[in-house]
Chains A and B, each alone.
Chain A
Amino acid sequence: MSRSGPVAAYGPILAVALLLAMLPVATSANTILNSMVMALLIALAGQGWNILGGYGGQFSFGHAVFFGTGAYVTALLQARFGVNAYVAFAAGIAAGAMVGTILGYLSFRSGLRGSYFALVTLAFAEVFRILANATAFTGGAAGTLVKLDVRPENFQFSSRAVFFWIALGLVTAVMLGVRFMERSRFGAWLVAVRENEDAARALGVDTLKVKIQAITLSAGVTAAAGGFYVQYFLFIDANLAYGTWISIEALLVPIVGGLGTVFGPLIGAVALHGLAEATKAIAGRIPGIDLALYGSLLVLAIAFAPNGLQGLMAKIGRGLSFGRAP
C-alpha cells in the first residue's frame, strides 16, 4: 500500500484502457472483437471475485450466484415488464449486490471462513440454479429471451466495436474503483482482514462490516458482467446464469493473472482467452486443442507463477534490474 501520487496510481490503468480502445480502429475483424468482448466480460466477473477473494481473502466458489442474478434481473425486467434495458441493467447490478449483502450477512455473521465459506457459496449458486430452472417466472429450463431489437436505446448494437467499448469502459471504471479502494482506509482494513482477521479485530477493525461491504461490492461488479452477458447474447438459462462455469472462470482469471492486484483479472483473462484463440488460429481445426492448451497453461501458471502472471513479470523485471546493477 505505497502512497504513490494519483498519476502513478491511476495513470497506468487509463493508459492501458486507451491503448485497448484503439483495437477496433486497428482491426475490424469481428472474430477478434468478439473474443475480446468475452475476455473483458470474464475480466469484469473476475475483478468482482478479486475484490472479495484477492483483497479480502474470502474465497468464493459460487460467484455464479451474483452473475446469474444480474443476468436474470436484466433479462426478466425487459422480457416480462418491458423495462428499459439500461434501467434493467442497473437494477440487475443492484439486485446482485443485494444478494451479496444477504449472503455475506448470513455466512460471515455465522463466522464461516475458508473452505466453509467456499462451500456455502457453492451451495447458494446451486440452489439458485435449481430454483431458476424450476420456476415458470424465469422461463424454467427453456430460459428467457430478450427481444431482438437492435437500437442503441435498447442497449443493443449492430457493431461489435460498441459492445467492446462498453465492456472496456466497465472494466476500466471498475479497475479505477478498485485502485481507489486499494488506496482508501477501507482497502487497508480489507487487506488486514485477509492477512490476519483476529489481529485486525484486535486493532479495532469491524471485520464483519468490512467483509459484508466487500462482498456487496464484489457481487455488484460480477452482476454487471451477468447483465452485460444478457445484452450481448440476449438469452439466459439456468445453466448459463448459475452454472459452475462462471464461478470457475471468475476465480481462475485473477488467480492466473495475479491475486489482489488491480490488473490481475484483466491480464489473466486476456492471457487465457487470447492464448486459446491464438491456438485455434494456429493449430487449425483439431477439436478441443485450444481447451487442452488452456489447461496446460493453467497448470504451468500455478506451478511456476504462484503470484500470477503479474507476479511473474515483476519477478522477471527485478531479475533484469539486478543484472544491470554494477
Chain B
Amino acid sequence: MTTHRFGTTRRQVLLAGAGLAGTLGMPGLVRAQAAAVKVGVLQPLTGALAQDGQAGQLGAELAIKAINAAGGIKSLGGAKIEAVMGDARSTPEGGTAEVERLAAENVSAIVGGFASPICLAATQAASRYDLPYIVDVGVNDQIVSRGLKNTFRFAPGSSMVSGQALDNLVKLNDAAGKPMKTVVLVHEDGLFGSGLAKLLQAELPKRGFEVIDTIAHPTPARDMSNVALQIKAKNPDLVIPSSYYGEFVLLARTMQQQRVKPKGIYAVLNGAASNYRFVKEFPEAAQFVIDTNHWYDPRNATAIALKKEVEAQGKFFLYNVALNYSAMLLLADAIERAGSADRAKIIAALETSTFGGHIMPYGPTKFVNGQNTGAAAVNTQVQNGDIKVIFPEAFSDAKAVFPVPA
C-alpha cells in the first residue's frame, strides 16, 4: 500500500534502463516521463501525538495511492508521486530536523505537521528553501499570519472554528426553542483550552447564555471526579468541554458514573468527541455528545469509500485521515496545474488554487495569505454508536438531538 523508497522492482530497473536508452535518442521527452515527484509527508509518528500522526500519514499515503492509480500527474507525462516520510517525534525540534532532511532529499513540497508548535517550526524551516508546505491541522492562528509565502493551511484556524462554534450553537438553540440558558465551561489549561475558554466567557453572555462556572484542569489529568462533582453542583443546562482525548474520555465516563446529565454537551475542537475510538469503546458515555471540529463530508462518495477502506484495515477513520487525504489531493492538483515539480511554481499554483475535488465539507479552496478561506468546521454528534454531521444542513447526514432526552 505504501510507496517504498528503497524497494526497486525488476520492472522499475527495466523501465529505468529503457529510459536511459531513450534519453540518448530523445532527451527531453523521456526524462519528463521517468521522474517521479517527491513529496514530504511529515507527521509526529512517535511520542505523545503518535495516534494522530499515524492517522495523518495513512491519509496522505491513501491519497498518493489514489493519485498514482489514476495515472499520476498528467501534465508531467503521468509522473508518479513518491512519498518521503518524516517523523516529527511530537516536538518542534524533531519537525525542523525532518524538514531539513526532506529538503535535502529534494522533495517538491511537504504536507502535514498536525500540532501547532510543530507546524510553526516546520513551516519556518521550510521557508528557508521556499519549499511549499501545506499544514494539515495546526489551528494556531499565527501559523498563517507570519507572512510566510510557502505556507498554506487547508483547514480552518482556531478563531474561525470558535466563531463558527458560537454561531452554530445559537442556531441550534434557537431551532430547539432556546432550551439552554446556563453553561459550565470545562477546559484544559494548555494550548487551545485556555484561549477558547476566555473567548467563550466573553462571547456567550452576548448571545443570551449565562456562564455559571469555568473549570480548568491540567493535561494529563488522572482523575476528573472533582470536575464532574462541580458540574453536578452547578447543574447547568449545557457543558462546553475543550480537552484532549484522554481527559475528555475520563470526564464523560465520570459524568456517566456520577449520573451528571446536562441537557447537552457541546464541545469545541475536542480531542475525543468526534473520535471513533471513544465512540466504540464507551458508547454510552459518548451518546449525544456534540463537537465542533474538522470532519469529512458524509455525502461525498469518495469519502464514504475511503472510510470503508480505512476500516477494512482495522483502523479508525479519524479526521486526520480525511484532512491529509484532501491536502495531498490539493497539492497534486497544484503540481498538475504548475506542470512542474519546481517549488516556486507549485507555490504560485497553490496561491491561485480553486480545488473542489477534496472530501471535506468546504467548497473550492481559496487562499488568502495562506489560509483557505473556504474552510469550515462542522458540528458532529454521536448517535447510537456512530458519528453524524448535524450542522450545517448542506452537509448533514442526521438531525440534531438537542436537547438530550432526559
Q: Which residues of A contact B (CB under 8 A)?
A: 29-31, 34-35, 38, 130, 133-134, 140-143, 145, 147-148, 158, 160, 233-235, 237, 240, 245, 284-285, 287-288, 291
Contact = CB atoms under 8 A, between A and B. Distances in A.
A140 B194 contact: yes
Contact of B195 (A140, A240, A291): A140
Interface string B114-154: 00110011001001100000000000101000111000000
Contacts of A142: 116, 140, 142, 191-192, 195
Interface of B: 5-6, 45-46, 50, 85, 87, 89, 91-93, 96-97, 100-101, 103-104, 116-117, 120-121, 124, 127-128, 140, 142, 146-148, 189-195
A303 B128 CA distance: 43
Contacts of B45: 287-288
B104 to A, nearest CB: 5
A160 B100 CA distance: 10
B121 A233 contact: yes
A31 B194 contact: no
Contact of A133 (B97, B147, B190): B190
Nearest to A30: B100
B193 A141 contact: yes
Contact of B96 (A34, A237, A287): A34
A234 B147 CA distance: 14
Nearest to B105: A31
B97 A38 contact: yes
Contact of B104 (A29, A143, A234): A29
A123 B142 CA distance: 31
Contacts of A233: 92-93, 96, 121, 124
Given A31-B101, A142-B116, 13 more contacts: A30-B100, A34-B97, A133-B189, A133-B190, A133-B194, A140-B195, A141-B190, A141-B192, A148-B146, A160-B100, A240-B91, A240-B92, A288-B87
Nearest to B146: A148
A79 to B, nearest CB: 11
A134 B147 CA distance: 28
B348 to A, nearest CB: 21
B194 A134 contact: yes
A142 B139 CA distance: 11
A35 B191 contact: no
A20 to B, nearest CB: 19
Contacts of A148: 124, 127, 146-148
A111 B399 CA distance: 67
Contact of A35 (B87, B97, B117, B128): B97
A233 B117 CA distance: 10
Among the interface residues A29, A30, A234, which one has the most CB atoms of the partner chain B within 10 A?
A30
Contacts of A143: 117
A30 B195 CA distance: 36
Q: Which 6 A-B pairs have the closest CB atoms?
A: A287-B45, A288-B46, A31-B100, A34-B100, A141-B190, A141-B191
A235 B93 CA distance: 11
Among the interface residues B101, B103, B121, B147, which one has the most CB atoms of the partner chain A within 10 A?
B101
Among the interface residues A31, A158, A240, A284, which one has the most CB atoms of the partner chain B within 10 A?
A31
Nearest to B103: A30
Contacts of B92: 233, 235, 240
A141 B104 contact: no
A147 B148 CA distance: 11
Contacts of B100: 30-31, 34, 160
B12 to A, nearest CB: 19
Contact of B120 (A140, A235, A284): A235
